[in-house]
């Protein structure tokens, strides 16, 4: 498979920021117990996915922003589409949508953290080279 040329498209596809080809997560998002599992390094180019210990603590802030957006959009949608329903409908509706979106919010918050603060840039020629650990 050819690497994705655009950073934004690679981010949306949750691919490695260096080669745009390796997957950031080991399992699909709907795997309810292991949707957050990431390989230690990119299986294609060997880029480490955790640049330093605790790197993804900052992703909590990005995830918080996603949660606020999910709450606001769901509340507005319920208000306008359901005609300002009872309070319990808001609580159940927002809770259900936020719970359903949890794997995506976590994955995209980690991916944004890696793309913004990981210090990794796209290197088109890096795909299909052996990982640094494999050469040693």
Query: In this complex, which beta carbon is closest to Zn ion, that of residue 41 or of residue 59?
Result: 41
State the nearest-atom distance from the C-beta of 47 to Zn ion, in Å.
5
| Interatomic CA distance for residues 110 and 64, integer angstroms | 12
Least gap, CB of 108 to Zn ion (angstroms): 18
Torsion of CA 40, 5, 117, 14, to 10 degrees: -50
Closer residue to Zn ion, CB minimum distance, 12 or 72: 12
**Residue written as token pair 């640094």:** 132
CB closer to Zn ion out of 70 and 112: 112
CA 49/CA 40 separation, integer angstroms: 6
Cβ proximity of 1 and 10 under 8 Å: no
Which parts of this chain interact with Zn ion (CB under 5 A)?
Answer: 16, 18-19, 22, 42, 44-45, 47
- Shortest distance, CB of residue 23 to Zn ion, whole angstroms? 9
Q: What is the dihedral of CA 86, 88, 93, 99, to 10 degrees?
A: 160
CB of 95 to Zn ion, least distance (A): 37
Q: Which is nearer to Zn ion, 16 or 70 (CB)?
A: 16
Name every residue whose Cβ is closer than 8 Å to that of residue 77 and which is 6 or more positions away in sequence.
none
User: From the CB of 64, what's the least distance to Zn ion, in Å?
Assistant: 28
Residue closer to Zn ion, measured from CB, 18 or 110: 18
């Amino acid at each position: 498979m050819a690497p994705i040329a655009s950073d934004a498209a690679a981010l949306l596809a949750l691919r490695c920021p260096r080669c745009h080809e390796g997957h950031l997560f080991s399992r699909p998002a709907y795997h309810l117990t292991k949707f957050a599992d990431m390989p230690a390094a990119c299986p294609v180019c060997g880029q480490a996915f955790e640049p330093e210990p605790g790197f993804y603590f900052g992703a909590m802030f990005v995830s918080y922003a996603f949660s606020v957006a999910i709450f606001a959009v769901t509340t507005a949608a319920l208000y306008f589409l359901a005609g300002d329903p009872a309070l319990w409908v808001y609580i159940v509706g927002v809770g259900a949508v936020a719970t359903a979106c949890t794997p995506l919010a976590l994955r995209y918050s980690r991916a944004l953290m890696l793309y913004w603060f990981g210090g990794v840039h796209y290197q088109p020629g890096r795909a299909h080279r052996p990982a640094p650990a494999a050469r040693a």
